[in-house]
């Protein structure tokens, strides 16, 4: 019989409810920022490194998702591509690497970027926010404020992700991310940040789509390729949005 597994469900649900209760204003502002940008022909950019990379993929080119979304994906910051799993961790702390990543993307003034980092203390997400803000984009940070405020920045500026954000959404995850205690002398297991962060971003997708419709704009929502007529629908969708925005040299 499940015991720890049920506790995990309970803690995940409790954390999402805490986000709903405490982050309503931030989510409202984020939805309006994104909606306004998309209605003007903008693209929503999303960046995350490490396991936050998976969160950015969750809103990129998927059934029920928004078409004008650009996930800024760098394989070296993930568990893909071979090599030691510590490679991504080390690169995430490397100052200057964010500039190399961003040079490959077409980022335009007035657009919105969501930068996801549970800790908010590593160089790459900090510099992604810093650089895009300087370019005139509106930066939304999705981070664990309690943990981030208590930790020391790994960036030479001493600043953290939230310092460069126009708007901060707190994931409300417990410090350290993992939430299930096995024994007093062992590390906790079962992290929360991915499931909670994905829920936050999908709530924004839903809100933005509905608000666009209320404004008289057909929301650019894709359908599944695995339902009748899905391929034909996606062909039109692909022709319009393409699935990203790499820089064309």
Alpha carbon of residue 246 to chain centroid? 18
The answer to whether residues 137 and 164 touch, using CB atoms and an 8 Å cutoff, is no
Query: Could you give the CA distance from residue 208 to residue 140 in angstroms, rounded to a whole number?
Result: 15
**Whether pLDDT at 249 is above 60:** no
What predicted TM-score, i.e. pTM, was given to this entire model?
Answer: 0.93
Q: Is residue 235 part of a domain?
A: no
The answer to whether residues 74 and 246 touch, using CB atoms and an 8 Å cutoff, is no
Grade residue 50 by pLDDT with cuts at 50, 70 and 90: confident
Nearest to 220 by CA among 202, 246, 238, 203: 238
**pLDDT of res. 27:** 98
Write the CB contacts of 231 (distance below 8 Å, at least 6 apart in sequence).
225
Q: Is residue 206 part of a domain?
A: yes
Q: Is residue 241 part of a domain?
A: no
Domain of 189 in residue numbering reads as: 4-218
Q: Is residue 122 part of a domain?
A: yes
Q: Is residue 203 part of a domain?
A: yes
Q: Is residue 30 part of a domain?
A: yes
CATH number at residue 89: 3.40.50.10490
Q: Is residue 77 part of a domain?
A: yes
Q: Is residue 121 part of a domain?
A: yes
**pLDDT of res. 238:** 77
Q: Indicate the number of domains in the chain.
A: 1
Residue-wise pLDDT for 204-226, tens only, equals 999 999 999 999 999 999 887 78
């Amino acid at each position: 019989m499940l015991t720890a597994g049920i506790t995990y469900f309970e803690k995940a649900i409790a954390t999402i409810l805490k986000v709903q209760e405490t982050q309503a204003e931030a989510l409202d502002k984020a939805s309006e920022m994104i909606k306004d940008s998309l209605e003007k022909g903008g693209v929503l950019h999303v960046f995350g490194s490490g396991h936050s990379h998976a969160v950015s993929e969750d809103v990129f080119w998927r059934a029920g998702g928004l078409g004008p979304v650009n996930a800024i994906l760098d394989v070296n910051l993930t568990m893909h591509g071979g090599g030691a799993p510590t490679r991504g961790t080390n690169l995430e702390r490397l100052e200057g690497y964010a500039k190399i990543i961003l040079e490959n993307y077409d980022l335009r003034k007035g657009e919105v970027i969501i930068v996801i980092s549970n800790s908010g203390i590593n160089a790459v997400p900090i510099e992604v926010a810093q650089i895009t803000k300087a370019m005139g984009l509106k930066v939304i940070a999705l981070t664990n404020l309690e943990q981030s405020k208590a930790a020391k920045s790994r960036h030479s500026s001493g600043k953290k992700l939230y310092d460069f954000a126009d708007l901060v959404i707190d994931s409300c995850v417990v410090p350290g991310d993992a939430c299930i205690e096995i024994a007093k002398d062992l590390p906790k297991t079962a992290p929360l940040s991915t499931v909670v962060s994905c829920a936050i971003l999908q709530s924004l997708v839903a809100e933005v789509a509905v608000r666009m419709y209320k404004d008289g704009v057909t929301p650019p929502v894709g359908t599944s390729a695995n339902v009748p007529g899905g391929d034909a629908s996606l062909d039109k969708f692909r022709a319009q949005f393409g699935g990203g925005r790499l820089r064309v040299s």
